[in-house]
Every structure is written in C-alpha cells, then in structure tokens.
C-alpha cells in the first residue's frame, strides 16, 4: 500500500512539472517560437503605451525608478512573500539593497512633491527555486507603481477597473491579429464593472490556507480581495482589526495588483514596525517625515506588468513575456 501511494505521489509530481514548460532563452527559440514571441511583444508594447498614456492623460507625473536604496519594501510579514535572498551591496561605505518595490519612495514622493505619480519600476526578488514551476513568478519583473495623495481605496479601485476594462477593449480593437494568433481573441472579454470583491478572512474560512490557488481557478473575471494582513505601510484599523487594502486577482494567474490606503501617523507606523520586528533604521527618512507630520495620507498600488500580459496572451509561463526570462532557480547566459 505504501509503495502504491509513493508511485501515485511521484506521478502527480511528474504531471505537475509537465503542466508548465520552462521558457527557453531567446537564442534557442525556433522560428515558430520567435514568431509567437513577436506577437507577445507587440501586445506588451500596446499595453505599456495604453497604460502610460492613460496615467499621463489623468495628470499623473511619470517618475524614473530607483535601483539601489537603503530603504526598500521589507516584504514582511506578508505571508505571500517568498524571497530566498536579499541582494545587498556596499556603495561609498553604505549598505544598499536592490529594489523589492518602490513603496517607500512612492509614499515620500507623493507626500512632498508629486501628488499623483507613477513609475515603471524594476523589482528584484530572488524567489525560492520551487516557484519556477508556478508559471507566475520571475526573480526580476517590472511593476507599474502609482500613488495619489488624499485618495481613498474606493477611488483607486474604481480607477483600476476603468483602466483594465479600457485596456482590454483597446486590445480587442487594435491587436486582433496578435490575439487571434495567440488564441486569445475570443476568450479575452471586457470584464463587468464593478469587479466583485471578497474579504480575505471569508476566503480563508471557505478554502483554507490555499485560498489563493483555489480562488484563481474558480473565477472567470478579475476580482478584488480585501482586508489582507500585510506590511506596516498598509492602513490597519487597530479597533476592528480591518486592513484597508486590496489585491486584484486574475483568473488562473492570481494576484496582479497589490495596493492600499497608506499609514501616515508616526505612532501607528512605529507600533507596527515594533510588532512585526521591522528594522526602524532602514526607514529613518520615512519615520522622520511622519514624526514631523510631513507624511501625507495617500493610496495607490503596483501592477505586475509581466503577469498582466501573461493573462492577456494566455502565456503558460510568465517568462514568455520577457525577452530574457528570469525564472526562479534558473540563470541563463543573457
């Protein structure tokens, strides 16, 4: 009986591995694969053009990204984070880290100089090797980060819904040839608004700890997940324990956007840092601004561009959307 069980488990493992074929380096693609890569790239170009134009037209300021900093996203205690290694180097006698996300910079820039901003920000997150087969993870990816001073979560979510629906409509109109070739023209539909919203507590009660996987395989349109316990910068109501944040989930591809109303009060930020064992010395500028009451209320989000495009084109692995795939556990020559 034991042997039969072991064989079954092994068979299941083999099947899972076969479900996601690892993307190849660019130089090893066949002519047919290169043709497909071209279609994906043209869709990516349209997505970037559409999104950045909409932000500029909505009077957002386009900022340049930060690569190294003493202060970046702690990704803690977010249960969804799976960083195997944090890249640190010494520059001019100071220890700096590669950008995990530009959340700290967004909050500071939005408070002091740029009330509405967006950035195409490279993120370096050395994911655990076992995530290579998820098809959804890359150890380098680009995030469209944006932030709005004095905005509410409802305003940000409404803006995102209009952005997603407008994008799909535009793709169907202008990228028909590419979507037909990729087999997505008929199945990619403009979602209904407003998107349905779920409370994370209710999802965990219904599906258990694996609620994220269960959810993304049950939905047929983008949905919101709210009230997710996360890092110190997401707004938390200490009285009722509710978090004023939101993640956007895509069918089969999971979370594509993470956002929230932000904390701005010094006492709350310090209390949460101490509770979560976050090193305050890494966030001295943010803390000083909060203490001096120069940190302003804001709300925003970050969109994973490669995961968004993966959903649009029906990619089997997120690496298919990258010219030079960055797959957990694999390092190609380029």
| Residue extents of the structural domains in the chain | 25-321
Which phi and psi angles does 94 have, rounded to 5°? -120, 145
What is the CATH number that goes with domain 25-321?
A: 3.30.930.10
Per-residue pLDDT of the chain (334 residues; tens, 9 = 90+): 333 333 333 333 333 444 688 999 999 999 999 999 999 999 999 999 999 999 999 999 999 999 999 999 999 888 778 898 999 999 999 999 999 999 999 999 999 999 999 999 999 999 999 999 999 999 999 999 999 999 999 999 999 999 999 999 999 999 999 999 999 999 999 999 999 999 999 999 999 999 999 999 999 999 999 999 999 999 999 999 999 999 999 999 999 999 999 999 999 999 999 999 999 999 999 999 999 999 999 999 999 999 999 999 999 999 999 999 999 999 999 9
The two structure tokens encoding residue 273: 């840092």
- Nearest Cα to 108, choosing from 134, 147, 138, 158? 147
**Contact predicate 300/176, CB 8 Å:** no
Q: What is the predicted pLDDT for the residue at 19? A: 60
pLDDT of residue 11: 37
pLDDT at site 52: 98
Please answer whether residues 71 and 47 qualify as being in contact, where contact means their C-beta atoms are separated by less than 8 angstroms.
no
Provide the token pair at 152. 């509410």
C-alpha dihedral over 297, 148, 138, 136, to 10 degrees? 100
What integer pLDDT is reported at residue 56 of this predicted model?
A: 98
Nearest to 102 by CA among 91, 112, 117, 92: 117
pLDDT of residue 79: 74
pLDDT of 66 reads 97
Report the DSSP pairing between strands 61-63 and 116-124.
Answer: parallel
């Amino acid at each position: 009986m034991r042997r039969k069980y072991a064989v079954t488990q092994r068979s299941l493992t083999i099947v899972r591995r076969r479900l996601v074929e690892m993307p190849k380096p660019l130089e090893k693609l066949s002519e047919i694969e290169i043709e497909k890569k071209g279609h994906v790239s043209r869709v990516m170009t349209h997505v970037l053009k559409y999104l950045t134009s909409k932000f500029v037209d909505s009077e957002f300021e386009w900022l340049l990204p930060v690569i190294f900093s003493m202060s970046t996203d702690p990704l803690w205690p977010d249960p969804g984070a799976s960083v195997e290694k944090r890249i640190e180097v010494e520059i001019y006698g100071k220890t700096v880290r590669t950008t995990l996300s530009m959340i700290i910079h967004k909050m500071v820039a939005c408070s002091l100089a740029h009330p509405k901003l967006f950035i195409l920000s490279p993120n370096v997150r050395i994911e655990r090797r076992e995530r290579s087969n998820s098809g959804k993870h890359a150890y380098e990816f680009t995030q469209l980060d944006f932030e709005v001073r004095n905005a509410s979560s409802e305003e940000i979510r409404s803006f995102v819904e209009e952005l997603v629906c407008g994008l799909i409509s535009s793709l169907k109109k202008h990228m028909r040839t590419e979507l037909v070739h990729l087999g997505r023209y008929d199945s990619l539909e403009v979602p209904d608004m407003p998107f349905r919203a779920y409370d994370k507590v209710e999802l965990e009660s219904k599906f258990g700890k694996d609620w994220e996987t269960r959810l993304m395989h049950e939905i047929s349109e983008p949905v919101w997940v709210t009230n997710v316990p996360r890092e110190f910068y997401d707004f938390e109501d200490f009285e009722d324990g509710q978090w004023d944040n939101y993640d956007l989930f895509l069918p089969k591809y999971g979370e594509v956007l993470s956002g929230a109303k932000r904390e701005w009060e010094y006492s709350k930020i310090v209390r949460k840092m101490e509770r979560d064992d976050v090193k305050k010395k890494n966030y001295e500028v943010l803390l000083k601004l909060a203490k001096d009451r120069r940190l302003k209320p804001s709300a925003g989000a970050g969109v994973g561009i490669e995961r968004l495009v993966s959903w649009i084109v029906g990619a089997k692995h997120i690496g298919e959307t990258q010219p030079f795939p960055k797959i957990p556990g694999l390092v190609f020559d380029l």
